């Protein structure tokens, strides 16, 4: 275990040194290349900024409107038939939209139900098995200027639904 700690301590400085030595060997001006990359990064950030603002405003409106509670109450009878805990519904709905909102909900679920409870474990597994789909699609497609995201959206949401269902099944079998 001590060797792993040693490797983790020297990994990043070693990578930086390798890059600098390789650039020196090939006579590349590292600082100029770094500045060019940083400039491109800022340009990309400015291009996707309006998309991110719109997404964050929509998430805030969704969380504060009470619609999540309404949806949870409406679909609870169907979910109880499937033995899907209704406490997880807000997490399942927000996880594809926002990482920070879903993290707040998962933290709240775990705080209320406990870390070792079935619901707490299920929330943790769902967080690991799904992705912030809409955020990821918004960032990557706006960066490369893709307008038609319907196919990407359907496939990604299907993967999230699959992740949630498989999380439930695995947690039922193991826990």
Cα 76 from Cα 70, distance rounded (Å): 10
DSSP labels, 143-168: HTT----HHHHHHHHHHHHHHHHHHH
| Furthest CA-CA distance within the chain | 68
Cα 169 from Cα 120, distance rounded (Å): 15
- Look over the chain and give the mean of its residue pLDDT values, rounded to a whole number: 89
In sequence order, what are the residues at sequence separation of 6 or more whose Cβ sits closer than 8 angstroms to the Cβ of residue 101? Answer: 59, 63, 94
- Taking only the tens place, the pLDDT of each residue in 61-120 is 877 888 888 988 899 888 888 899 999 999 999 999 888 889 989 999 999 999 999 999
The answer to whether 88 touches 71, Cβ cutoff 8 Å, is no
- Taking only the tens place, the pLDDT of each residue in 112-136 is 999 999 999 999 999 999 999 988 8
DSSP labels, the chain: -HHHHHHHHHHHHHHHHHHHHHHHHTT--HHHHHHHHHHHHHHHHHHHHHHHHHHHHHHHHHHHHSHHHHHHHHHHHHHHHTT--GGGHHHHHHTTT-HHHHHHHHHHHHHHH-TTSHHHHHHHHHHHH---HHHHHHHHHHHTT----HHHHHHHHHHHHHHHHHHHHHHHHH-
Looking at residue 118, its pLDDT comes to: 95
């Amino acid at each position: 275990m001590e060797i792993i700690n040693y490797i983790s301590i020297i990994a990043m400085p070693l990578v930086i040194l390798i890059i600098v030595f390789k650039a020196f060997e090939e006579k590349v001006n590292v600082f100029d290349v770094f500045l060019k990359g940083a400039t491109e990064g800022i340009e990309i950030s400015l291009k996707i900024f309006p998309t991110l603002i719109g997404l964050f405003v929509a998430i805030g409106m969704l969380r504060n409107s009470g619609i999540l509670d309404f949806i949870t109450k409406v679909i609870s009878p169907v979910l109880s038939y499937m033995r899907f805990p209704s406490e997880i519904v807000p997490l399942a709905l927000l996880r594809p939209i926002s990482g920070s909102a879903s993290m707040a909900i998962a933290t709240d679920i775990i705080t209320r139900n406990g870390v070792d409870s079935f619901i707490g474990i299920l929330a943790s597994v769902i967080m690991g098995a799904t992705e912030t789909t809409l955020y990821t699609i918004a960032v990557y497609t706006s960066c490369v200027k893709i307008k038609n995201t319907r196919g990407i959206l359907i496939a990604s949401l299907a993967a999230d639904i699959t992740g949630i269902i498989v999380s439930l099944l695995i947690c039922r079998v193991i826990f």
